[in-house]
Structure formats: structure tokens, C-alpha cells
Chain A
Amino acid sequence: MRRRQLILGLGGASGALAFTLGLGWLQSRGRAQPPAALLPLPIGEMGFALTNHRGEPVRPADWIGRPTMAFFGFTWCPDVCPTTLSDISGWLDELGPDADRLNTVFITVDPERDTQQVLADYLANFDPRITGLTGPLAEVERAVAGFRARFEKVPRDGDYTMDHTAGVFLFRADGRFASIIDYHEDRRFALPKIRRVLT
């Protein structure tokens, strides 16, 4: 338990360091941009090694060549995550065969509970084109840092829950960041955004 806290602490510290470095980089580029404009890295510049729910290793370079739609969550989440997975499944339905060209990924921020098998059982309820990713916490943190996303483990009633970035990230086939579908954004804007990265 103590070791886990230590690891979490280190993760948090490195996350904070990455954020500070990112902020420094941003400030050196000019004061016009607010910190909120910290954009996800191009996929080609990300570094992480995760495992998908089928047990295959996944590295960011594997995604280059196809547009990518990705979001963070955890399977113990009762509201946001099933809703987002349900939305995504609906979008994939509407896109039809075009959606076969997308990398659609769900990255857990709770690898402690979300093992490969847990992800596989959970994703069986949604569109089969959604790939779940898990791995060591440090690798999840590297992925989150690359997306400029955030997550936090929050103790709750003797258990815990996860706060996490809720938007859906879209990247072009060459790996450049395209846009985010915000959680509370009007869902009518989602399909045009996805179609834009598919063209």
C-alpha cells in the first residue's frame, strides 16, 4: 500500500513537472495563448507502451496512418464512461464502414482494477471497433501526459473513484491533433468533427 502511494506520488510529481515544462514552453512561445491552449502532442511524439484488451502490445506509432479517436475513462465509472462509450458506438454505427478506418481507443485511467480481461468483458457491451488499453500506471501516465489530459484518484466512501478528462480526442491519420468533442458539447457537432479527420 505504501509502495503504491509512493508510486502515485512520483507519478503526480512527474505529471506536475511535465505540466510545468509544458507551461514554460508555452510561455516562451508568447503570452497570447492561455494555458488552456496546451494542445495534445502529435501521436508520433507520444511515448507509451500499453496493452489492448485482446492482449496485444500497443505503441503510439501503431496508430499512424489512420485517424484516431481516443478517450480516457474507467470501467467502474457509472455515468460518464458508459454514456461516452454508448455515444461513440452510436457514431461508429452512423459512420458505417467509414469508421473501420479509425483507431477508436478507450484508455483506462484505473489500471489497478481495469485489467485486460476486465476491459474485454466491459467492451463486449459496445461497438467491437472500440479497443481498450491498459498497462502499468506509469505507462498510463505517459499516455495521459501526451494527450495533455489529466486524471486523479479520489478516495470515496472507503473506495475510490477517478476524476478524468472527459472529452473525446481526434487526431488526423498523420498523427496531428485535430479536435476534441467536449463531454457537454451538442452531439450534433460530433459526426462532422469525426468526418473531418476521416477525409
Chain B
Amino acid sequence: MKSLILSALLTLSAAPVLACETFTLGDLNIEHAWSRATIGADRPGVFYVEITNNGSTDDALIGIATPAAGMPMLHETVVTDGIASMPHAMSIPVPAGQTVELAPGGYHGMLMGLTTTLAEGDSFPVTLSFQNAGEVVVNVEVLSLRAEGPDCDDAN
């Protein structure tokens, strides 16, 4: 029923946006999976997503995998004394009852070793691995290099 409403909403909206699709894995809701277009395949791509833990047990995102990149990993942009750096994130906590965003300027997936250029309008699958909930595959929509996020009706 929920998916029926969702597909109805998608049909109604002027331009259906793939990144607005919601994926469910146990108590986890995963949505707003998007990436930015790249120039060529030499530069790293980026992966953003929003994860809501509706359960009562803490979880953590411990890894990502995708056929689009040979070396995908989790990073966090940290700005210390005005200097931006991108340390590896071993895991990203998804506490019970909370929403965690991989979003510009914070946690993000870094897609090193792209197998192809990411062009606006393309999509590719990413497998998210969680400590407790296991694995789920989400579709990632490639938005423009200038995009700051998908334009979903439910987005803030």
C-alpha cells in the first residue's frame, strides 16, 4: 500500500526523481540516494544518502560497494581551524530513533576508481552494509555537478 502511494506520488510529480525512492531494510529507511556528475572517470565520485533508524537498537553503516567504482569508501569532511580534510570513516553510527545524513560537507561515500563517467540522469546501484541490519541495495541517481541534493516533496 505504501509503495502504491509512493508510485502514485512519483507519477503525479512533474519530474519523477529516482533519488526520492525509499528503500527499507528491517527498521532502517534509506532514501535520497544521490551522486554528482563527474568529468571523466579519473576523479572520485561522491555518494550521499539519508538513513533513518526507526528501531530501538543502534546500528552503523560499515561499508559500501558498487559496480560503479573499484574502491568505494566512507569518508567524513572535517573542517578544523578553517582547513578542510577528509579522513576515512571506519563506520557511521545510525543510532536508534535517529536519522543520519551522508550529505555535502559531512559524511559521504567517496567513489575512487570509477569504472565509468557519472553523467547527470544516470543511476547506479550501491550496496550498503550495516553492522546489524545486514545489506541492502539502493539505486543512486546522478544529479548535476552543481546539485546540492535531490528535489523531493518530503525533503526539508
* Chain A residues close to B by CB (< 8 Å): 36, 75-76, 78-80, 82-83, 85-87, 89, 121-122, 125-126, 150, 154, 157, 159, 161, 163-167, 180, 182-184
Give the distance in Å from the alpha carbon of A126 to the alpha carbon of B146 in the complex: 7
CB neighbors of A among B98-156 (8 A): 104-105, 108, 110-112, 144-148
Query: Chain A contacts of B75 at CB under 8 A?
Result: 79
Interface of B (DSSP majority class): loop
Q: A79-B75, A82-B104 are in contact. List 10 more A-B contacts (CB 8 A).
A: A78-B36, A78-B43, A78-B111, A79-B110, A86-B148, A89-B146, A125-B145, A150-B83, A163-B84, A183-B84
Query: Chain A contacts of B108 at CB under 8 A?
Result: 78-79
Residue of B nearest to A167 (CB): B82
Q: Are B146 and A82 in contact (CB under 8 A)?
A: yes
Interface of A (DSSP majority class): mixed
* Chain B residues close to A by CB (< 8 Å): 36-37, 39, 42-46, 71, 75, 77, 79, 81-86, 104-105, 108, 110-112, 144-148
Give the distance in Å from the alpha carbon of A150 to the alpha carbon of B81 in the complex: 10
Give the distance in Å from the alpha carbon of A36 to the alpha carbon of B82 in the complex: 10
Subset of 20 A-B contacts with CB under 8 Å: A76-B42, A76-B44, A78-B43, A78-B44, A78-B46, A78-B110, A79-B104, A82-B36, A83-B148, A87-B148, A122-B39, A125-B37, A125-B144, A125-B145, A157-B71, A161-B86, A163-B85, A165-B82, A165-B83, A183-B84
> Least Cβ distance of B18 to chain A in Å?
20
Q: Are A80 and B43 in contact (CB under 8 A)?
A: no
> Least Cβ distance of B22 to chain A in Å?
24
Give the distance in Å from the alpha carbon of A87 to the alpha carbon of B43 in the complex: 21
Give the distance in Å from the alpha carbon of A121 to the alpha carbon of B45 in the complex: 16
Query: Chain A contacts of B79 at CB under 8 A?
Result: 166, 182-184
